Amino acid sequence: MPTYGFISLCALAVAVVLIRRYARIEGLDPKATTEAIVLTIAVGFFGARLFEAAINWDRYFGRPGGLKLLLFSTGVFLGGLITAIPFCVYWFRHIGLPVLQGLDILALTGGVAEGGGRWGCFFSGCCFGTPTVRPWGVTFPEIARRMHAGLPAVPIHPTQIYMSLNSLVILGILLLLYRKKRFHGRIIAVYVLLYAVTRFFIEFVRGDADRGFVFGSRLSTSQFLGLLLALAAVLAYLALDRRHRRSGAPDWRPA
């Protein structure tokens, strides 16, 4: 099994454990919640590849064998997030489970998916960084350079590891915040905001040009999407907090 696929399966297994645990904490049916969020994760993976195809259309559809590359691509994580959140809202409503509580649990799986999945990117050589003289710079072997055009033969920033560690730190923050989340929807709003902001700065040391750019290459696609998501997260947090205060309901506490 390819390394990326093996790591993804391990991340999914950890995510399922977290989903079941926090479903019980939220007072939800663990089985129904797990099935709904695993389905949401699958839709998110599909959305990530749709965004990847849209950004690099010629690469995947303008040459022979391009579609095969798309099937084995890692996709655009922010694109998967943008796809997963609306689907989660729709599906939780469809099966009669509380939407905001489902989104809060989904946020935890985002930290696991990125935290583990980026190691698959590291071993395959994609999502690489710019050249660096820092002692932690890494040089990828020839086979990785053949797979990913533009990957230099000099030490570069291991941006895959940066993104993995960043997501694991965010996951830790969310787990701590969960004990004092006060109102439903707070965890997903904080997750999206933290991830969007930190990803914006990590993008400055990314070196792979095929991730796409906007505004005359001033911003990468992920930076642009991150700005939109950060704004949406702030507005959502303020709206949910205001609604909670006006309702007069007691702060939520874990079961």
Q: Does residue 194 register a pLDDT over 90? A: yes
Distance between CA atoms of residues 49 and 43, nearest Å: 10
Q: What is the pLDDT of residue 72?
A: 54
Written as one letter, the residue type at 129 is G
pLDDT in tens, 162-185: 999 999 999 999 999 998 899 999
Q: Does residue 231 register a pLDDT over 80? A: yes
pLDDT in tens, 12-41: 899 999 999 999 999 999 999 999 999 999
Residues 92 and 178: beta-carbon distance below 8 Å: no
Q: What is the pLDDT of residue 224?
A: 92
Using DSSP, state whether 128 is helix, strand or coil.
coil
Q: What is the pTM of this model?
A: 0.90
Region 82-104: mean pLDDT is 96
Q: Does residue 90 register a pLDDT over 50? A: yes
- pLDDT-derived band of residue 117, with 50, 70 and 90 as boundaries? confident
Distance between CA atoms of residues 131 and 152, nearest Å: 8
Q: What is the pLDDT of residue 132?
A: 94
- Percent of the chain whose pLDDT exceeds 70: 90
Buried b / exposed e over 170-209, threshold 16 CB at 10 Å, is bbeebeebbeebbbbbbbbbbbbbbbbebbbebbebbbbe
Structure tokens at 140: 């990828």
Beta bridge partners of 252: 182
| Whole-number average pLDDT of the chain | 88
- pLDDT-derived band of residue 1, with 50, 70 and 90 as boundaries? very low
Higher-pLDDT residue of 132 and 208 is 132
Other C-beta atoms lying within 10 Å of the C-beta of residue 30: 15
Q: What is the pLDDT of residue 238?
A: 97
Region 134-151: mean pLDDT is 83
Structure tokens at 78: 């922010």
